[in-house]
Amino acid sequence: MDQKKLSRRDFLRLAALATGGMALAQCTPQQTATKQSEATAGPKELTKEEITLRMWHWDSFLGDGYKAVAEKFTQKYPNIKVAIEMTAYGEYSQKVAASIAGGTPPDVAGTIAEHFTNMAGQGQLVELMPYIEATKFDINDFHKGNLSQNSWGGKLLAIPYSADGMWWFYNVDEFKKQGLKTPYEYWKEGNWTWDTAMQLAKQLTSGEGVTKNFGYGGMGTGNYFEVLPAIVANGGSGLFDEKYTACQLTDPKAQAYYEWGYEMRQYAPGPEEQATSNPQSGRVMQWFDWSPMGPIYKPNYPFTFSYAPPPAPPSTKKFVYCGDAPAFGILKGVKHPDESWAYITWINTPESVETIFDITGQEPPRMSVAQDPGLWQRNTKYPDSSIGLELTKHRFKEGFYNTPKVSNFVEMWQAHNEEISLVWVDKQPLKDALNKVNDRINALLKEATVDQDRLYWTSS
């Protein structure tokens, strides 16, 4: 598969076991919910010229939701059109840099995790607090941890458009057929760990050849590096030490996750089986993915599925979600920064985030909206909307771990992927690969610009 053409979702699917196949839990302090109406969002006076704002993103499944919001924006401002342009996730940072160098940056730029650290570390994003103060845009309804994820050096550079997380999906029909307790049930009784997930994977793996059923679907040859810091922290370690002087992937606590993932290979499709043995085939019984994938799966999967939090290390039984608050920011050099800001605020009104959730299932960034039972009850796109709400509240309550703010995090991801992908095809021992990754990341760390900001957010 051509990595450059992969979406963010495809990266995760290839990823699921370049690091063992699971991402873990997040925490967030509650805040007072304050709603911002469309009538007061954005600057009062915008250009009267006929202009088109270009918005860049990578997830094509969100297109219909953003199109609906853009149409309402143009109804209010008839002279301002919005063009939604999708760019492959794997080449997003490079194309952003090229657009800035060429004098044609998009007016509204999506940011997330490693792409944010790259853009912010290179000084490509405009500070937003002056716009927030000038337009009195209320950010109190956004979780402080999600805002922190989109800040650099104490300056807010992007406004989250979502606050989603990683879920553990499973084939409900097969669990019922075999009379097995589900991951959700194990979670509720307090025994949902890596060991439990592996035992279920073993029980659910059967058959051979083209009819073989796989107990786990996380065996990719790539890696979605964004989730790794949370997973490693979940086991009591960290990707870096506190002062960002060294990578810690040689720490036994960090290696435990890889070792678990390596063992799980025996219950998952190998590289040559990936194309025909994916969750949609009905022959993969457990896998993990971003929560907004639920609405995409529902009409396309020939079986009933549900979800639970990712399993926890047996040593800690601790859930730490991957901090995931993708956002929109303004790149330096845009021609219409006030209009760009107006559209960002428009995207993030309660009405807009509800519209996007209704159409696409993308979880809202506003805490008052994301935790609204009525919003979830009316959404028929999720197979178990009540569990979706429960997991959303659990993520806010239990905690999440943001992506470390290192300017060359993308290069670190690539170095990690190159070494670990060889492990899953038996071309390199796991221990050797981790030693090489550790050395390569340490070398990159010496060249990096780092923002030593808080990463772990809890409700306490």
Q: pTM for this structure?
A: 0.86
Angle at 311 between CA 249 and CA 451, to 5 degrees: 40
Helix (H, G, I), strand (E, B) or coil at 447: helix
| pLDDT value, residue 280 | 87
Q: Which residues of the chain have pLDDT under 50?
A: 1-43, 219-223, 460
| pLDDT value, residue 459 | 62
What distance in Å separates the CA atoms of residue 427 and residue 424, rounded to the nearest whole number? 8
| pLDDT value, residue 104 | 96
| pLDDT value, residue 19 | 39
Q: 197-244, pLDDT tens digit by residue? A: 999 999 999 999 889 999 998 744 344 566 777 778 777 888 999 899
| pLDDT value, residue 65 | 94
| pLDDT value, residue 413 | 87
CB of 49 closer than 8 Å to CB of 192: no
How far, in whole angstroms, is CA 449 from its chain's centroid? Answer: 23
CB of 282 closer than 8 Å to CB of 171: yes
> What one-letter code names the amino acid at 219?
M
Give the contacts of 144 (CB within 8 A, at least 6 positions apart).
28, 29, 31, 457
- Please name each of the domains of the chain with its CATH number: 38-164+325-383 (3.40.190.10)
| pLDDT value, residue 224 | 54
- What are the φ and ψ backbone dihedral angles of 280, each rounded to 5 degrees? -65, -25
> What one-letter code names the amino acid at 224?
Y
| pLDDT value, residue 221 | 35
How far, in whole angstroms, is CA 10 from its chain's centroid? Answer: 12
How far, in whole angstroms, is CA 114 from its chain's centroid? Answer: 11
Please, which residues bridge with residue 193 across strands?
312
CB of 341 closer than 8 Å to CB of 330: yes
CB of 125 closer than 8 Å to CB of 158: yes
Rg (CA), the chain: 21
What distance in Å separates the CA atoms of residue 95 and residue 101, rounded to the nearest whole number? 10
* Positive or negative torsion for Cα 6, 8, 9, 13: positive
What distance in Å separates the CA atoms of residue 352 and residue 111, rounded to the nearest whole number? 19
| pLDDT value, residue 398 | 81
Q: 298-321, pLDDT tens digit by residue? A: 888 889 999 999 999 998 888 778
| pLDDT value, residue 2 | 36
- Residue whose C-alpha is closest to residue 327's, from 105, 205, 156: 156
Element (H, E) at 108: strand 108-111
What distance in Å separates the CA atoms of residue 116 and residue 199, rounded to the nearest whole number? 38
